Amino acid sequence: MERGKAVVLVWAVLLGSYGRTLGGVLYRVQEEQPPSTLIGSLAADQGLPDSGHLYKLEVGAPYLRVDGKTGDIFTTEMAIDRENLRDCRLLLKTDPCFLEFEVSITDLNLNQSPRLIEGRIEVLDMNDNTPQFPSPILTLSIPENTHSGALFPVPLATDRDAAGNGVADYSLSPGPDAVGLFGLQVAEDRGEKLPQLVVLGGLDREQKDSYDLSIKVVDGGTPPRYSSALLRVLITDANDNAPRFEQPMYEADVSENSPVGHSVLQVRADDFDMGSNGEIEYTLHQATDATQRLLRIDHSSGIISVRGHVGPRRVQLYEVLRGCQG
């Protein structure tokens, strides 16, 4: 029996050393408050006397401090920034953000171990961040002759603030040379705004190969914050132009007994397309066997030269030339 009492006594001592835990304390404070902003009063909220207790912050530094006599909780020089709190960085923007704290309370009139109060502070978002595009200059490439109504996604802007103060809308300001050619459509997916450039008119790279527009993003705060970026639209080439010879007809005389390799004539053609679409290859098109035995054309330069023995004859080149796009 004496042994049983000893066991009970040891258990009671261990329980007393940890103290009693009080839960359910919840305060709210807006982020970025100045130092010494009062968040809450533990003495009043816990129904404790104004004196005779010692309060000590156990968890919550460096963002919080506690008045040792009154139990009042204040902000410190270290501002509570909702977007930079470790426990809130990975939260969805719609989720609440909490800063946890623990305060020990010692009754100076009683010889007892400190009690521990655990609580949370909900950090309310304020509109302290401006939405930003990933770059001051955004670039979109759109093929010429794109049909009206085609949509092209625009790079998204981001806002570190919570949902209500986050990105709310986009708008487009086309330059004078782009009026009637482009518009903006803003779709929405699970609460996220998705800007898309809409092609409204005909695009011809040979007429104009780029357009500079201004795109603006605004958030949902009061007052709202906004920023702008240059949206540069590059018109890419389509193979929509046929090559054209500089002359409608070419004619040359080939002297009798001209040596093989002798240059007879050089033809030239132009193509308004770009890159591989504008490369020209020259061929002798629908030439007779006799002509092909007599002459050859360099595919790249357009130089026509003697290929075989030339007798007393004259060749009309306009009947046998062709310029082809690469």
Q: What is the mean pLDDT of residues 105-133?
A: 91
Asked which of 48-52, 234-238, 316-320 is least confident by mean pLDDT, the reply is 316-320
Does the pLDDT value for residue 276 go beyond 80?
no
| Model confidence pLDDT, tens digit, residues 35-72 | 999 999 998 888 887 778 999 999 999 999 999 999 99
Q: How confident is the model at residue 270 (pLDDT cuts 50, 70, 90)?
A: confident
- Retrieve residue 201's tokens: 């008119």
**Amino acid present at 260:** V
Does the pLDDT value for residue 9 go beyond 80?
no
pLDDT value of residue 254: 78
pLDDT value of residue 76: 97
Number of helical H runs and strand E runs in the chain: 3, 21
**pLDDT cut 90: percent of the chain above it:** 49
Cis peptide before 223 (omega within 30 of 0): yes
Q: For residues 225 and 219, is the Cβ–Cβ distance under 8 A?
A: yes
Alpha-carbon span 99 to 66, nearest angstrom: 15
Does the pLDDT value for residue 149 go beyond 60?
yes
Alpha-carbon span 61 to 304, nearest angstrom: 87
Alpha-carbon span 277 to 237, nearest angstrom: 8
Alpha-carbon span 158 to 90, nearest angstrom: 15
Q: How confident is the model at residue 261 (pLDDT cuts 50, 70, 90)?
A: confident
> Which stretch, 144-148, 193-197, 278-282, has highest mean pLDDT?
193-197
Q: Which residues of 148-185 are buried (b: 16+ CB within 10 A; e: fewer)?
A: eeeeeebeebebbbbbebbbbbbebebeeebeebbebe
DSSP 62: T
Query: What would you measure as the largest C-alpha separation in the chain, in angstroms?
Result: 140
**Amino acid present at 83:** E
Strands 137-143 vs 226-236: parallel, antiparallel or unpaired:
parallel
| Model confidence pLDDT, tens digit, residues 65-86 | 999 999 999 999 999 999 889 8
Whole-model pTM: value is 0.61
Alpha-carbon span 197 to 127, nearest angstrom: 28
pLDDT value of residue 286: 66
